[in-house]
Structure 1
């Protein structure tokens, strides 16, 4: 009962806040603006009521969600061309790191970055909302060679400072499409 009331109140607050910002910014930031996706995702994570003693580590679910976010990131233009190599050469490393770092309170982030942003998915702690592992890909242009997708990850062990390289997949000499396209 309390959870339903909190969810109703949360929904009302979200709508009110979005409308207020739209009015104050003279419509520059509308309720459908991209900024609200990240704001509301954080709020929803904070209102989630799950008890640590009821959680069970489900590595298979985390790996499936990570694979799904990879597909979303690559989109329908990039995914068909790199999927086979990604599954064989790159994703096993991400899988290994998820298995290494995941706990019962871990979750996989949704909404990988678009355009030319690096984020594929993050493994984070649901209780603290702190990232544990960040899986990224970067587009790299090499003179006379063309474009490569270079895959790497960061961990909380060094405050995400060091790139841990995994591998790369060649695209072509033509500029690749933006992520999520």
Structure 2
């Protein structure tokens, strides 16, 4: 593949996905297995909404979708926190984390045509106990997750416990942590989720 074409594809994919994906799949590796893997990764990228579809009705539908997802996200998060954790971190969650969740959902919503937004839904139940899962947004048509929202308990040495909120996307096969924020708990061990 000519160098100028490879660079153009990298720039195109980066722009289309709003920088969420920088395709390193177009490297100079001549290995045929890697070439097939690269093709598969590029084909797996979700369709991007056409730039010409910015009608007021389409924008209103997209905004309604985002607001509904954020409402469900908040509900799932409070369910995960349970009666013991929720009263302690609820205000910080609403001020710091929830706006960042909304931004992440907006970015995902922009990558789907309006017709496909109706196929995206929030998973039913957050993970309890020590699980990180708050909720996932999945494509009902393909039965695959699009974005996963998690919270991890961190306990750095000589410091108290914190809750690290982050998300993973399908673009990097859910490998990278995209930070949403951190909320301090206390020096004492927090109770299990959903307790």
Structure-1-length-normalised TM-score: 0.67
Alpha-carbon distance between aligned partners in 2 of 1:87 and 1:64, rounded to the nearest angstrom: 11
Map of 2:175 onto structure 1: 161
CA deviation after TM superposition for structure 1 residue 116, in Å: 0.9
2:188 matched to which residue of 1? 174
Partner of 1:28: none
Say which of 155, 166, 169 aligns to 1:152.
166
Give ranges in structure 1 of 5+ residues lacking alignment: 1-55
**Residue number in structure 1 paired with 2:135:** 121
Deviation of residue 119 (structure 1)? 0.4
Partner of 1:104: 118
Kindly indicate whether residue 95 of structure 2 is the aligned counterpart of residue 88 of structure 1: yes
Shift of 1:104: 2.5
Q: What secondary structure, in the 3-state scheme, does the structure 2 residue paired with 1:59 have?
A: helix
Count of residue pairs brought into register by the alignment: 126
Alignment RMSD: 1.2
- State TM-score, norm by structure 2: 0.62
Other-structure match for 1:67: 74
- Once the two structures are TM-superposed, the CA of residue 86 in structure 1 deviates from its matched residue by 0.6
State how far apart, in whole Å, the 1-side matches of 2:104 and 2:119 are.
16
Cα deviation 1:120-142 (Å, max 9, x = unaligned)? 01011011111001000000111
Number of the residue aligned with 2:86 = 79
Q: Is residue 146 of structure 2 the alignment partner of residue 132 of structure 1? A: yes
Unmatched tracts of structure 2, length 5 or more: 1-60, 110-116
